Structure formats: structure tokens, C-alpha cells
Amino acid sequence: RMASSTRRVPISPQRVDAPLTSSATFLVVSVNTSIPSAIQTVRSALASISDLSKNVAIRDLRAAFACTVGIGAGVWDTLMSGVPKPTELHPFRAVHGAKHTAPSTPGDLLFHIRSERRDLNFEFERQLLDALGDSVSVVDDTVGFRYFDVRDLLGFVDGTANPVGDDVSEAVLVASTPDSSGSGEVASAELGGSYVVVQKYVHDMRAWKSLPAETQEAIIGRTKWDNIELMDAEEGKQASHKTLATVQDADGNEYSILRDNMPFGAPGKGEFGTYFIGYSARLWVVEKMLTRMFIGEPEGMHDRLLDYSKAWTGCAFFVPSQRLLDGLGGD
Ligand code: HEM
């Protein structure tokens, strides 16, 4: 059963629902709060993102350029002075399974830059970092690319179960009515915003390639060639990735998230990765997916995908509405 409601979604979200493109840059930075002017510089840079985006997007309108900005729990109060911190926002919580760990790593701001053209993304990132100057330090800068028909480097089509159409805003944007997590009425500053979690995974390709395709398919929960969903394993048996990543609340409502994963890497360096990025109106949904994957369901039966994929980073952010972001330059 899908979570159904007629929640009214307010205006002016950032472009979290922008289409999956052939190129994306994931830029995570820390704010250098020891520099007195840093906060003001970051504020005006964030307020100018709309204009900066337009500068670059106009140079090829068919390239579907979009940039979304996420703000971490550690800088929210100083940066967003007066705007209450979103109810669920906290630093990414590491998940320690018996065998694998999802680490929590530093990062105050996330810029998810995407378009059909690597040069547009490059140019935008250059102008953005110019505007930010020494107010930030880059923590991670990963460039992802489209690999054939939206496959990850493990060879599987990635992103199929994403919500589409009207279901996108329900899944991704914080709306004004209470949700079934019981967290109550949400504060207005959150309206039209979205939680986002990123994790950088590196694959052990040699070990993965040594598995027969049928074993890989059982691990993912879909067929490799034609992307057909497999049946869930019986209760108590080893579940596939797609089963473990399916999350319900106590009433059996299912919650989807919006993933824009991208492959990244460099064969010459032996680096083969997946940059995971998941947008959700509810941070607990992504956290529950991670618990099911790393701890396992039942406990101890972790997601076998993790035996071939190591999480190197883990950060959580809130993507405020465009209006909140634009307003940051005001003081
Ligand atoms: C499904 C790959 C990590 C959440 C899938 C599918 C693939 C895949 C191939 C099946 C097709 C699809 O529906 O997209 C990967 C890889 C990962 C990764 C390569 C990293 C190494 C994660 C993480 C989460 C997640 C960390 C959540 C925290 C999901 C969800 C689905 C899914 C929600 C759809 C399940 C459904 O309703 O069918 N993933 N994934 N994935 N994944 Fe992942």
C-alpha cells in the first residue's frame, strides 16, 4: 500500500525533482567558521545560486542544468539565523552492522550539480567556488557520469523504483500536515524542503565479477539484462537489496525516496564507485533503509550488496525551499 494523502505542497521548492542527467557533480564543503566573514560570504553565495544557475543554464537550455543546495545540522543555526532547524535534521548517524559500517563523515553544505553537459557543471562549480572563496573548504568533489542505460558499475539499471509524476512531491517534499511518524505539525520553515542523504560507495569489482549473474540478481532483487523485479525472499531468509530498501511504517504504508545515484571512478586508478544520493520528505525513512541494509532484516542478514560495496562517506542535509535560500542575502 502506498502512502496516500492529499497533502498540499507549498510553492518554490528547489529543483530536487530535476531529471536524471548524463553528468553530475557532488560537492561537499565545510564552512570555515573560524574566519569572521565566512558566514556572511556563504549566505550571499547561497542567495546568489539562482542567478548563478541562470548564468550557466542559459548557455544551453537543452542541457537541463540544475543545482540543489543542502545545509547540514552543524551550520544550520548560524547560517539560517532565526529559521528553526528542520525537525528531523541532525548529523548523519553512523550505522554499525556486525560486518559493515556506514560511517558518518564531515560536511556542512552539499551542492548537487547536474546537467547533460560536463562543461556546464564544471563552469558552474568554478563560479560557485569563486563566490564562496576561502569561506569554505572542499571535503569531497565527485564527478558522476551516466553509464549506458542508467546502469551502475555493477551492471544493473539503477533508479527504476523511483517515484514519478505526482508521487514525487509526496515522497520528497515536506508538507504541512502531520505524517504518520507522529512528529506532529511541521514548522513552516520546512515547507517545500527535503532531506537528502549522500554516501560514496566504492565497489570490489573483481569479487563482484566472480559471481554468476544469477547470484548478482538475487543480491539486487532484479534481473540484470531486462531489469525485471524478482519475488521477495521468504520471511527469515536472505533478502535482496530492493526488499531491504523497501520501508513501511507501522500501518503498512510504504515510503519511497528519490534516488539520483551516479557511477564515478577511474579504471586507471582501480576506482569503481556509486555515489548514492537519496531525497526524502522524511529523514527516518532513509535511516530505516540503512538500518535494514547494514544491520539486516532479520538482524545479522545484512544486504549482500555491501559485501561488494564499501561506504566511504555519509552525510545528511536539508534542502530548504528556493525562497528561503534566496532570502539569505537580505541582511
Ligand atoms: C533499488 C543499486 C545503495 C535505496 C536499487 C536497485 C539497484 C540499486 C540496482 C534496483 C533498481 C531500482 O529500483 O533502482 C544500489 C547501489 C547502491 C545502492 C549500487 C550502493 C552501492 C542504496 C542505499 C539506499 C538505497 C544506500 C538507501 C539508503 C534503494 C531503494 C530502492 C533501491 C529505496 C528501490 C526499492 C524498491 O522499492 O524496489 N538500488 N543501491 N540504495 N535502492 Fe539501492
Residue count of the chain, please give it.
Answer: 331
The grid cell for 101 is: 559500517
Percent helix, strand, coil in the chain, to 5, is 30, 25, 45
Say if residues 70 and 109 touch (Cβ distance below 8 Å).
Answer: yes
Q: Give yes or no for residue 245 having a pLDDT over 50.
A: yes
Say if residues 124 and 157 touch (Cβ distance below 8 Å).
Answer: no
Ligand 1 atom at minimum distance from 221 CA? 10
The grid cell for 237 is: 531468509
pLDDT digits (tens, 9 = 90+) for 67-117: 999 999 999 999 998 899 999 999 999 999 999 999 999 999 999 999 999
Q: Give yes or no for residue 10 having a pLDDT over 80.
A: no
pLDDT digits (tens, 9 = 90+) for 255-306: 999 999 999 999 999 999 999 999 999 999 999 999 999 999 999 999 999 9
DSSP 256-288: --EE--EEEEEGGGTEEEEEEEEEES-HHHHHH
Q: Whose CA is nearest to atom 29 of ligand 1?
A: 245
pLDDT digits (tens, 9 = 90+) for 52-72: 999 999 999 999 999 999 999
The grid cell for 114 is: 547536474
pLDDT digits (tens, 9 = 90+) for 193-214: 999 999 999 999 999 999 999 9
Q: Give yes or no for residue 319 having a pLDDT over 70.
A: yes
Q: What is the ipTM score, two decimals?
A: 0.99
Question: In the prediction, which pLDDT does 189 show?
Answer: 84
Q: Give yes or no for residue 1 having a pLDDT over 50.
A: no
The grid cell for 151 is: 546502469
Whole-angstrom distance, CA of residue 92 vs CA of residue 312: 13
- Tell whether ligand 1 has an atom less than 6 A from the beta carbon of residue 160: yes
Question: Rounded to whole angstroms, what are the CA distances from 57 to 60, 97, 114?
Answer: 6, 43, 10
Task: Among 259, 287, 294, name the best residue to mutate to test ligand 1's pocket (greatest count of ligand atoms within 8 A of Cβ).
Answer: 259
48 CB-near residues (< 8 Å, 6+ apart):
131, 329
DSSP 218-243: HHHTB-TTT-PBPPPPPTTSPPPHHH
- Tell whether ligand 1 has an atom less than 6 A from the beta carbon of residue 242: yes
Q: Give yes or no for residue 35 having a pLDDT over 90.
A: yes
Give the residues across from 111 on adjacent strands.
27, 69
Known catalytic residue at 167: no
Strands in the chain per DSSP E:
23-31, 66-71, 95-96, 101-102, 109-115, 136-145, 194-203, 247-248, 254-255, 258-259, 262-266, 271-280, 309-311, 315-319
b vs e for 46-58, b when ≥16 Cβ sit within 10 Å of the residue's Cβ?
bbbbeebbeebbe
Question: In the prediction, which pLDDT does 196 show?
Answer: 98
Q: Whose CA is nearest to atom 16 of ligand 1?
A: 274
Question: In the prediction, which pLDDT does 178 show?
Answer: 56
- Mean pLDDT score, 10-16: 81
Amino acid at the residue 206:
R
Residue spans of the domains in the chain: they are 23-330
Whole-angstrom distance, CA of residue 115 vs CA of residue 57: 9
Provide, rounded to the nearest whole percent, the portion of the chain with pLDDT above 70.
93
